[in-house]
Structure 1
Amino acid sequence: MSATTTSSAAFGALRAVPEALDTLGAEALSEVARSATLAQNLAAATRLQAAHHLVEAMGRLDEATHDDKVRPRPAFARLDPADRARDHLAAAMSLTGWHAGRLVTAGVQIHTRLPLLRKAVDRGLFPEQLAIDTACRLADIPDEIIAAVESEVIGALCRDLDGGHRPSRTALDTAVDAARERHDPRAAEDAVAEAVERRTVRFRPGRDGMTSMWAHLPSGDAEKLRRRVDAAARAACDSGHPRTRDQLRADALCALGDPNTDDIGTALHDPEDLHRADNTGSAGTDTPPDATRPGASRPGASWGTDKPVRISVIDSIAQGLPNRVQFVNGAYASFDWLCEELLSGGEATVRFELIDPQPGVQDTPDAVLKYFITPALAERIRLRDGTCRHPGCTVDAHDCEIDHVIAFDHLRPELGGPTAEWNLICLCRKHHREKTFGHCAYRPGPLGELTIITETGHEHRTTPHGPLAQARDRILDHRWREHLDRLFADDGHLTNPPGAHRTHPA
Structure 2
Amino acid sequence: MNEAPLPPAAARGALLDAWVAKRAEIARLEGEASELLAARADLFDADVRADPQHRDMIRRSMIAEYSAAGHISKTAAELGFNDAAALSEFFPALRRALRQGDITAQHVRVLVAAAAPVREAVLNGNLDAETLAVYETAALTIAEHETPARTRPHARQITAALAGESIRERHARAASERQITIRPLDDGLALLTAVLPEVYAVAIMDRLRSLATAVAATVGPDARPEFVAADGRTRREIEADTFIDLLLAATPSEALGTGLDRITATVQVTIAGSTLAGEDDRLAELDGHGPLHPDIARDLARRASGWNRLFLDDAGMVTKVDRYTPTTAMKRFLRARDQRCRFPGCHTPARRCDIDHNEDFALGGQTEITNLSDFCPGHHALKHPDIDAGHRWTAHQLPDGTLRWTSPIGRAYDDRAPRRVMFV
Q: Shorter-chain-normalised TM-score: which range?
A: 0.3 to 0.5
TM-score normalised over the length of structure 2: 0.45
TM-score normalised over the length of structure 1: 0.39
- The structure number with the bigger radius of gyration is 1
